[in-house]
């Protein structure tokens, strides 16, 4: 059974987005929340959390009300660029 990790896009008072991760298998203690300031840190933290569950992870995305569509789009674009980069690295190592 996959663990569900909530990935919540949030915005700080300066207008900078960040992603907060919540492992739904753990209690709602604030210490169990992980803040990621960019997609590289996000990917690293997801992998670390996933290792606890044998890599069987599902992501549930949401955003706070104060997050703008521009911020959401920026996160999406950075995620797509990251995934493309990872796929190209896999192709290079397989050749």
Q: Could you tell me which residue, 49 or 94, shows the higher pLDDT?
A: 49
- Mean per-residue pLDDT, 50-74: 94
Please give the structure tokens belonging to residue 93.
């190592």
Per the model's pLDDT, the better-predicted residue between 92 and 10 turns out to be 10
CA distance 46 to 52: 10
- Could you report the per-residue pLDDT of 71-88, keeping only the tens digit for each? 999 999 999 999 999 888
Residue 66 is encoded by which pair of tokens?
């104060």
Of 14, 67, 7, residue with least CA distance to 43:
7
Concatenate the DSSP letters of all residues of 17-71 into one string. Answer: EEEEEEETTS---GGGEEEESSHHHHHHHHHHHHHTTTT-EEEEEEE-TT--HHH
Give yes or no for residue 95 having a pLDDT over 70: no
- Name the pTM for this structure: 0.87
Total structural domains within the chain: 1
Average pLDDT over residues 17-34: 88
Is residue 1 pLDDT above 80, yes or no? no
């Amino acid at each position: 059974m996959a663990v569900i990790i909530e990935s919540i896009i949030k915005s700080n008072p300066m207008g900078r987005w960040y992603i907060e991760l919540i492992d739904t298998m753990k209690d709602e203690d604030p210490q169990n929340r992980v803040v990621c300031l960019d997609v590289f840190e996000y990917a690293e933290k997801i992998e670390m959390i996933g290792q606890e569950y044998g890599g069987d992870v599902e992501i549930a995305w949401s955003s706070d009300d104060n997050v703008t569509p521009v911020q959401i789009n920026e996160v999406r674009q950075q995620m797509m660029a990251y995934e493309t980069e990872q796929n190209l690295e896999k192709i290079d190592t397989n050749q």
